[in-house]
Chain A
Amino acid sequence: MVSEIILKMEGISKSFPGVKALDNVDFALRKGDIHAIVGENGAGKSTLIKVITGVYEEDAGRIALNGRPIHFKSPKEAQDMGIGTVYQEIALCPNLTVAENMFIGRGQYTFVQWKLMNEKAAQMLDSLGIPASPTQELSSCSLAVQQMISIARAVDMDCKILVLDEPTSSLDEDEVKKLFDLMRELKSRGVGIIFITHFIDQVYEISDKITVLRNGALIGEYQASALPQIELISKMMGKALSDVSKIKKHEPLKSDSSVPVYEATTLSSAAGVRPFDFIIQKGEVNGFVGLIGSGRSESARAIFAADKVTGGEVKMKGKKVKIKSPLNAMKQGIGYLPEDRKGDGIIAELSVRDNIILALQVMKGFFRPLSRKQSEEFSNQYIQKLSIKTPSINTPIASLSGGNQQKVILARWLLTHPMYLILDEPTRGIDVGTKVEIQKLVLELAEEGMSLTFISSEIDEMLRTCSRMIVMKDREIVGELSGMDVTEHDVMHMIARGGE
């Protein structure tokens, strides 16, 4: 049965200075459908969403809501027309109650009728199956519940269309399940849901239809049940099928066990990780694996002296060295891509060029700035090498997509030609295509003789890239797994047993 189309977009184009973000894209949402929009970073997903929700005005094209042509000038207009949006970051007030959050700023009444408000909230929470009480403070709810409450808030504004932009990126598996139940409930009420995510499995779990975008152009709209996963990935990346399956290839372990590139004994830091021993050989890719809070990032930070080092001994190529600050570590040939890209990685308002040369420039020293020509050459070289999509080298890095920002930070460290590079969650929050590119790059660099530590919360990425995994639990190393045939199960098992 084909239900009626509630939102129809035809020939939508949108340009920003230097980039064509959307090029003649069509999109149609049907009543009661969950429609996933997928694509790499920079494919135009968020631009399309922002056109739908009235944040951006389209340059060309037609939008029709329930058959009537419309043209949004502001997000408020879109909201009034029944388009609710929930963004990745929860935009609620944590110190207010659940009910207050649901009704805040709705302004029908001058005076708040507390009792009525709480009753209404309770009714709604109940009908949507959200496990929260209206008078509870929002911050006492789990992230998933908070996410659901922002959905409830959007839905209550009598919405016909619900846009969910990466709603699951900070949720665990159980929470995702609850969220999906809510989405199914809304679907059954006839709400059309637009769902954006980087998790391919989730797309298949819940979506009816999939629209694929690439480089601002529409690749196609597909029935989720009729599109095999491998084909979807190849459509997103624009690469042939054989190419995608090749990624899974695991490079064999290199073990020319002469002097290790880096060796630490009883290293500890102020961030509270237990003193640990760690070793990495030339051309080796290893990784810290464990749950969030297991100390995997803290260990990496201790190696780079990102947190205050409180003890231990470090040898680089057999020679005893002192690494007390990030600058010491850099001068010893260590690079570190931090977990928190926005907070610790990018210098948002500076240009792509300045962001690329930053680490090299600091290593050269305060009184030896690179010439303009040199810095342009270096930047262009790495923009090409890592195929970073940017309008120019002078564009502020903040205006690039997440994946391209991450590539810029990678370029920054590659430019310093480190012996040992630590990558903490280099693939978080970026699209599948770039994820695969980064994994490939890691293996290539290792083959060229660089030692790398790769940390990711997606365990299959680590299985694919690391020849040795150091398993962590409760801020302590509990064991080590190496070899070609390590499976996810082995890792889980070791974490569960705690290294017994």
Chain B
Amino acid sequence: MQRSEIHLGLKAHLYHLSNLFLPLSVLVLLIVINLIKGADYFSFTMVKGVFYGNIPNILYGASELVILSIGMTLVTAASRGQDIGIGEAATITSAVFVWFALNAGEVTLLTIVAAFLLSCVVGLVIGVFNGTLVSIFRVQPMVATLILFIGGRSIAFMIDGKLSPILANDISNQIGTVIPGVPIQTPIILTVVFIAIVAVVLKTTNLRLYIESVGINPDAARLNGINPKKIIFLTFLIMGICTAVAGFIAVNKAGRHDSVNLLKFIMMDAILAVAIGGNKLSGGKFSITGSIIGAYTIEMLNRTLLRLEIETETIKAFKAVFIIILMVVGSPVVRVFAGKVINRVRTGRFRSVLKRSAPKSTKEE
């Protein structure tokens, strides 16, 4: 009895792992390609007491994408749709951040924190806007967020007042790069802290159960006392915070606010990260771990293509081809087929099939 329980527990665990099969296998494949290209892929260099190298660069580069993918995962799971205005939302929040920081006179840690908190409030306001459209007016998420996708950068431009204000101060520089004495680049640390907060929230609340219930069956969720509108609204609020944090990191990395190009088209990568992570874009059960791995995978893919010295103009085409392969391999059709093959090998039928197709050897027996 106890043994079978352990067996079942193990099975559930394996099942969970199999959901991460796609993102993990892609990650491994990319690592192999990179190792073939050069065995020094994992090597680090210490420059002024800070780690640099391929891996730290990926972790550094993917910071904003990871944070936005987390928000995208939750929005997708609850609302069964995607937010396509996240890059624009982050541009607005970071514009507010820069505006406040530059108008506060002397830039101190306090003004930066205040500016960041203000940008979070703006993120929440954007969340309220999108959430209201989707949950109360039942506008489809993509249509609702299309509004900001179209108008967002103009709004940011108006907040900026001029083309691209420059953040020339030590604190911003440290947030965007490194804090003296800390061996890891600051955006990496911020991302890890953010992931940890999300993990704690998921652990200490029923967020997962509520979101999954609403995403799978809103009617049943409602009859069990969950208010689907509130939950969908909540995911857009969380997305608002995610965009504020991502915008904060992005603008400090860049050192200036470029409302035309900041996090441009990042929603495509965020949606892709959610998909690579094994999440259904039609909502329901979700895996944030999967999305995070997906986000890092995309960054690794981008850098791998650069490392393979593919010309910049053709790089997007290569990326597209890679994604096609990825999606076919991860599709339910292939998964079911793979499952069948594994099952046959395990039950020994496969061997009999082989025997049948090789009649000569059976005769000899």
Residues of chain A touching chain B, judged by Cβ–Cβ distance below 8 Å, are 17-18, 59, 304, 306, 325-327, 330, 336, 338, 343-350, 354, 358-359, 361-363, 365-369, 391-392, 394, 412
Q: Are B216 and A347 in contact (CB under 8 A)?
A: yes
Q: A362-B225, A367-B204, A391-B8 are in contact. Are A347 and B219 (CB under 8 A)?
A: no
**B231 shortest CB reach to chain A, Å:** 10
A391: B residues at CB distance < 8 A: 8
Residue of A nearest to B15 (CB): A394
Residue of B nearest to A358 (CB): B224
Q: Which of A338, A349, A361, A367 contacts B285 (CB 8 A)?
A: A349
Q: Which of A325, A327, A330, A346 contacts B220 (CB 8 A)?
A: A346
Residue of B nearest to A329 (CB): B225
B206: A residues at CB distance < 8 A: 361-362, 365-369
Assembly CA distance A345 to B203 (angstroms)? 26
A343: B residues at CB distance < 8 A: 217, 219-220
B12: A residues at CB distance < 8 A: 392, 394
B269: A residues at CB distance < 8 A: none
B125 at interface by CB-CB < 8 Å: no
Q: Are A362 and B224 in contact (CB under 8 A)?
A: yes
B11 at interface by CB-CB < 8 Å: yes
B284: A residues at CB distance < 8 A: 349
Assembly CA distance A39 to B102 (angstroms)? 76
Q: A17-B11, A361-B206, A367-B205 are in contact. Are A326 and B223 (CB under 8 A)?
A: yes
Segment of B184-192, B207-215, B259-267, B288-296 engaged in the interface with chain A: B207-215
A361: B residues at CB distance < 8 A: 206, 209
Max chain B Cβ within 10 angstroms of own Cβ: one of A17, A325, A367, A369: A369
B226 at interface by CB-CB < 8 Å: yes
B225: A residues at CB distance < 8 A: 325-327, 330, 359, 362-363
B222 at interface by CB-CB < 8 Å: yes
Please tell me the number of chain B residues within 8 Å of chain A, measured between CB atoms. 27
Assembly CA distance A336 to B12 (angstroms)? 31
Assembly CA distance A359 to B226 (angstroms)? 9
Assembly CA distance A344 to B8 (angstroms)? 29
A326: B residues at CB distance < 8 A: 222-225
Residue of B nearest to A57 (CB): B340
A18: B residues at CB distance < 8 A: 8, 11
Q: Which of A346, A359, A369 contacts B217 (CB 8 A)?
A: A346
Q: Are A348 and B8 in contact (CB under 8 A)?
A: no
Q: Is the interface of B mostly helix, strand, loop or mixed?
A: helix
A363: B residues at CB distance < 8 A: 225
Q: Which 10 A-B pairs give the minimum distances between C-beta atoms?
A: A327-B225, A362-B225, A392-B8, A394-B12, A359-B224, A347-B216, A369-B206, A330-B225, A347-B213, A358-B224
Max chain B Cβ within 10 angstroms of own Cβ: one of A306, A325, A347, A359: A347
Assembly CA distance A129 to B213 (angstroms)? 47
What are 29 A-B contacts with C-beta separation under 8 Å?
A: A18-B11, A304-B223, A325-B225, A325-B227, A327-B225, A327-B227, A330-B225, A336-B223, A343-B220, A344-B217, A344-B219, A345-B220, A345-B223, A347-B212, A347-B221, A348-B216, A348-B217, A350-B212, A350-B216, A359-B224, A362-B226, A365-B206, A366-B210, A367-B204, A369-B203, A369-B205, A391-B8, A392-B8, A394-B8
Residue of B nearest to A338 (CB): B223
Assembly CA distance A350 to B285 (angstroms)? 8
Assembly CA distance A368 to B224 (angstroms)? 16
A59: B residues at CB distance < 8 A: 347
Max chain A Cβ within 10 angstroms of own Cβ: one of B205, B213, B220, B285: B220
A365: B residues at CB distance < 8 A: 206
Q: Are A354 and B209 in contact (CB under 8 A)?
A: yes
Assembly CA distance A330 to B222 (angstroms)? 12
Max chain B Cβ within 10 angstroms of own Cβ: one of A325, A363, A366, A391: A366
Residue of B nearest to A354 (CB): B209
**A366 shortest CB reach to chain B, Å:** 5
Task: Render B330-365 as a binary contact track against A, CB cut-off 8 A, 1 for contact.
Answer: 000000000000000001000000000000000000
Q: Are B226 and A369 in contact (CB under 8 A)?
A: no
Q: Are A347 and B220 in contact (CB under 8 A)?
A: yes
Task: Render B229-254 as a binary contact track against A, CB cut-off 8 A, 1 for contact.
Answer: 00000000000000000000000000
Residue of B nearest to A331 (CB): B225
Q: Are A349 and B223 in contact (CB under 8 A)?
A: no
Assembly CA distance A306 to B213 (angstroms)? 17
Assembly CA distance A261 to B63 (angstroms)? 57
Residue of A nearest to B13 (CB): A394
Residue of A nearest to B214 (CB): A347
Residue of A nearest to B340 (CB): A57
**A391 shortest CB reach to chain B, Å:** 7
Assembly CA distance A412 to B224 (angstroms)? 10
Assembly CA distance A359 to B212 (angstroms)? 14
A17: B residues at CB distance < 8 A: 11
**B344 shortest CB reach to chain A, Å:** 11
Assembly CA distance A57 to B207 (angstroms)? 40
